Amino acid sequence: MRVKRLQPMAARARRRYVEAMFQVLGRALQAVSEVDANVQGEARVLPAGFMFEMKVMPRGSALVVEHTGEGRFRYHGSSAPKPVNLSIQFKHLAHAFLVLSFQEKTSVAFAHDRMLVDGDISHAVRMTRILNRLEAFILPRVIASRAVKQYPANLHLPEKLLSGAKIYLNVANQFVHAVRA
């Protein structure tokens, strides 16, 4: 039997995908928090100045957003300007890829021990709900229902705001199929 070696191309592509996806999510999080009352309601409970980070262990890509108050988020790119309050860390790039390519729901990834939470659990619960809501916004319905436990019924958001993200995601989606195959 021939031993299939890990293709460095695929690994690199996966890394780039996760990086790009973090950027999409970060920007979308900021955008959605400016218009969606539901996300604002969830986020408002977080302290102002609250730093949230999602990253890949051990030193991989990261996504940092700050709750600036009133339910609004600001995207900080991949590094935090001050100590983070809550960090959700994927144990491996492959696990981040599973979640960010919507093959595994965030809650399932928690159930599968794919991620570690460093910080207040109640804040992690809240951020998970916000990310679920976000995924429902930026993903085509068929993919979103795979990514979140329930697809929310009440989504109202200016289409143009998120169309950019959606176009990007179409590309990403084709990429997922190519990499998965």
Partner 1 sequence: MPSYYEFFCPVKVIAGKAALEHIPYELSGLGASRPLLITDQGVRAAGLLDPVMAACDEGGLRIVTIYDKVPPDSSTTVVRDIAAIYRAEHCDSIIAVGGGSSIDTAKAVNILVSEGGEDIAAYSGAGILKRALKPFFAVPTTAGTGSEVTSIAVITDTEKSVKLPFTSPFLLPNAAIIDPRMTLTLPPQITAATAMDAMTHAIEAFTGMAKNPLSDAYATAAIQKISGALLTVMAEPKNATARLELAQASTMAGIAFSNSMVGLVHALGHATGALCHLPHGLCMSLYLPYALEYNLESIREPLGELLLYLEGADTYAATPPIRRAEAAISAIRRLRDELYQRCRLPRTLEETGKVTRSQLNTIARRALDDGAIIFNPKEVTYEDAIAVLERAWHQPHPVA
Min dist. Cβ of residue 102 to partner 1 (A): 15
For residue 58, say if its preceding peptide bond is cis, omega within 30 degrees of 0: yes
Q: Cα dihedral sign for 157, 161, 164, 169? A: negative
* Candidate list 126, 146, 166, 179; residue touching partner 1; CB under 8 A: 126
* Candidate list 82, 92, 118, 170; residue touching partner 1; CB under 8 A: 118
Rank residues 14 and 133 by Cβ distance to partner 1 and give the closer one. 133
Q: Is residue 91 within the footprint of partner 1 (CB under 8 A)?
A: no
* Candidate list 56, 65, 128, 139; residue touching partner 1; CB under 8 A: 128
Rank residues 124 and 165 by Cβ distance to partner 1 and give the closer one. 124
Q: How far apart are CA 25 and CA 157, in angstroms?
A: 16
Min dist. Cβ of residue 25 to partner 1 (A): 19
Q: Is residue 156 within the footprint of partner 1 (CB under 8 A)?
A: no
Rank residues 75 and 137 by Cβ distance to partner 1 and give the closer one. 137
Question: From residue 9, how far is each of 48, 56, 94, 175, 177 by CA, in Å?
Answer: 41, 19, 14, 13, 15
Q: How many CB atoms lie within 10 A of CB 175?
A: 17
Q: Is residue 155 within the footprint of partner 1 (CB under 8 A)?
A: no
Q: Residues 65, 77: contact at Cβ < 8 Å?
A: no
Q: Is residue 11 within the footprint of partner 1 (CB under 8 A)?
A: no
Q: Is residue 159 within the footprint of partner 1 (CB under 8 A)?
A: no
Q: Is residue 85 within the footprint of partner 1 (CB under 8 A)?
A: no
* Candidate list 110, 146, 166, 172; residue touching partner 1; CB under 8 A: 110
* Residues at the site binding partner 1, with contacts judged by CB under 8 A: 107-108, 110-114, 116-119, 121-122, 124-126, 128-129, 132, 148-150
